[in-house]
Structure 1
Amino acid sequence: MHVLLGVSMALLGAASGLAAAEVRGRTAADTSRIVSIGGAVTEILFALGLGDRVVAVDQTSRYPAAARQRPDVGYSRALSPEGVLSIGPSLILAAEGAGPRSTLDVLEHASVPVVLIPEAHDKAGVLAKIAAVAKAVGEEERGRALAAEVAADFAAVEEMVAALPGRPRAVFVLSASGGAAVVGGADTSADAIFRLAGVTNAMAAIKGFKPALDEAAMVAEPEAVVVMQGGGQVLDADTVFSLPAFAGTPAARERRLVAMPGSYLLGFGPRAPRAARDLAAALHPGARLPELPPRLWSVEKEQ
């Protein structure tokens, strides 16, 4: 559960341009041994065809499967400098928010280049991430090619969503314990993927990931509940719809629960438009949305 919780909580931020990338330490002249911190960063490196340079990843790096075979240096926000340095990296690429800051300071003093990639959860932000990663590893041409494919996917999804009838009301449930649900309000990665999928966030009145008040959730009348699956997370229909917050909602009456892999749904890497398309299809069961064109970097199914 900690992996998926980290994925979702790490993806709060406004879209940033390439200029926002922060370089700590010396300039990277050697990109042959990359430690990749952040699921989207890792996914971009592999999509660029640079997976062979990735020598270690963090716990949020779940895609592709080859990334999970790399040594794990821990959770992105609680990194140990000894653990990272033991890999012998020539470059560290980390999503904005990785740390703690003291670890980054140690890595800088060890003369290992650290490039912080701007974190964002919208179309512009995803394209900026691709550009920043590509520039950091000296592969701008590959970056432009990947960005063009992802931009085309975003455009196709925007067209699909614009043609959909209505905007179903849904709520994203991050976790549930003690009879209380933590939901995704405004300014979260969950809210952002809902917008891309043409879905109304029934909990937009709150900001951030916070516990839902039972009365507020029932008044919001969500037609569906969206949760993460995998990584030890167990939120099935029986669990969710037995919670007081959702027991009397339209979602509970129809038992409409949509479960998607957390790093796919909330990762906001190259596959973000595909996640939006799949979420839109799940929440508009009467619509027949076309599949997006297959890409070499998207054919593997998330586990």
Structure 2
Amino acid sequence: MSLIKPAPVFKTVSLAVAILFGATSAYAQNNDSRIISAGSAITEIINALDASNQLVAVDSTSQTLVDTKMPKVGYHRQLSAENLMSLTPTRIIGSNEMGPESTLTILKQAGVAVDIVNSGNTVSDLSKRIEQVAQLTGHQKQANKLEQTVQHTVQTLTEHRSQLKKQPNFKEKKVLFVMIHDGRPVNVAGKGTTADTVINLAGAINPAAAFVENYKPISSEAMLQMQPDIILLSSRTAATIKTMPDLIKKIPVLAQTPAAQNNAFAVIDGTALIGGLGIHSLNEAARLSNVFYPTVNQ
């Protein structure tokens, strides 16, 4: 049974979060602030704060969040100073993943404000990031409403998890997020990662959290010991690994887990994992709850 195409659930939550992804203006016009947003978790907040008219460009992870005519400056880890300066920005906002440092140094020397906002993976970190971006854009008033929406979404997810546990014979699923890059060891999402938070908010257990912190490789023995019920892949990985047999070719030990025996793997939008826990991360947690527990959520 494949878990890739779930039916919609959490209509109220999804709607509340979807509202935060409004259409954005193509360019900043007649505004003293000329902001480049380097990270989807930041761009989504700028949109939600109704401050997108201050944007002059975004990075490649944000391209689905803005008008197609909005200039793109490439990947947020590999920014070009020349490319950025050609847009005459007054400010660039990014996470601690933004770089390289040499580019940021050139921007600072040119008088461009370089702001690194909170990139943590908890709901509290998201709240701090909202506050920071609101201050940088001058939209503190809108931040209050956004924060209320975020807290309502988290509360709904928490209450839903409590309801799941009350179901007869309910068993929490063990969901293991694996990151696969050719030529590199397979990494899993351990404690303190955005994937870990999303899995928990979706009502499941991340077995890797008991073994490692952050994204790290683990031994086949440890992965076998975890006995995951579901394997979670990013959308980027799922573009090349489309079936459980494909996944087992990459990670043979998974053949001895409940996930493989039940053909149970799911996909998360990779942009929901970039730059810390974000608004889209919460939306994905709501969607994935239905993926992990399709019969319970009907």
Q: TM-score range by the shorter chain?
A: 0.7 to 0.9
Opposite residue 251 of structure 1, the aligned amino acid is A
Residue 180 of structure 1 deviates from its aligned partner by: 5.5
Q: Partners in 2 of 1:150 and 1:136 — Cα distance?
A: 20
Does 2:89 align with 1:81?
A: no
In the other structure, the counterpart of 2:70 is 70
In the other structure, the counterpart of 1:119 is 119
Q: Partners in 2 of 1:178 and 1:79 — Cα distance?
A: 24
Q: Does 228-237 or 189-198 show the bigger shift? A: 228-237
In the other structure, the counterpart of 1:32 is 33
Task: Describe the shift of the 1:145–1:213 C-alpha distance in structure 2 as closer, same or farther (beyond 3 A).
Answer: same
Does 2:242 align with 1:241?
A: no
Identity of aligned residues (%): 29
Does 2:195 align with 1:190?
A: yes
In the other structure, the counterpart of 1:209 is 215
Contact 2:38 2:59 in 1 (8 A): yes
Does 2:270 align with 1:274?
A: no
In the other structure, the counterpart of 1:95 is 95
Among candidates 169, 174, 185, match of residue 179 of structure 2:
174
Task: Describe the shift of the 1:288–1:31 C-alpha distance in structure 2 as closer, same or farther (beyond 3 A).
Answer: farther
Q: Partners in 2 of 1:122 and 1:80 — Cα distance?
A: 30
Task: Describe the shift of the 1:179–1:209 C-alpha distance in structure 2 as closer, same or farther (beyond 3 A).
Answer: closer
How does 1:4-15 map onto structure 2 within 5 Å? none
In the other structure, the counterpart of 1:148 is 148
More helix by share: 2
Contact 1:197 1:280 in 2 (8 A): yes
Listed one character per residue, the Cα deviations across residues 110-142 of structure 1 (whole Å, up to 9, x for unaligned) are 111222111111111111111110110111001
Q: Give the count of matched residue pairs.
A: 259
Task: Describe the shift of the 1:154–1:31 C-alpha distance in structure 2 as closer, same or farther (beyond 3 A).
Answer: farther
Provide the aligned C-alpha RMSD in A. 2.2
Q: Partners in 2 of 1:255 and 1:182 — Cα distance?
A: 21
In the alignment, structure 2 segments of 5+ residues that lack a partner are 1-30, 166-170
Residue 38 of structure 1 deviates from its aligned partner by: 1.0
Q: Partners in 1 of 2:237 and 2:73 — Cα distance?
A: 17
Contact 1:169 1:199 in 2 (8 A): yes
In the other structure, the counterpart of 2:56 is 55
In the other structure, the counterpart of 1:228 is 234
Contact 1:55 1:89 in 2 (8 A): yes
Q: Partners in 1 of 2:238 and 2:178 — Cα distance?
A: 15
The alignment partner of 1:161 has SS state of helix
| TM-score, length basis structure 2 | 0.79
Opposite residue 134 of structure 2, the aligned amino acid is A
In the other structure, the counterpart of 1:219 is 225
Q: Partners in 2 of 1:231 and 1:169 — Cα distance?
A: 20
Q: Does 263-272 or 43-52 show the bigger shift? A: 263-272
Contact 1:174 1:228 in 2 (8 A): yes
| TM-score, length basis structure 1 | 0.78
Residue 178 of structure 1 deviates from its aligned partner by: 6.1
Contact 1:44 1:270 in 2 (8 A): yes
Contact 2:76 2:99 in 1 (8 A): yes
Q: Partners in 1 of 2:119 and 2:273 — Cα distance?
A: 15
Residue 231 of structure 1 deviates from its aligned partner by: 8.4
Opposite residue 187 of structure 1, the aligned amino acid is G
In the alignment, structure 1 segments of 5+ residues that lack a partner are 1-29, 290-303
Opposite residue 112 of structure 2, the aligned amino acid is V
Q: Partners in 1 of 2:198 and 2:141 — Cα distance?
A: 28
In the other structure, the counterpart of 2:28 is none
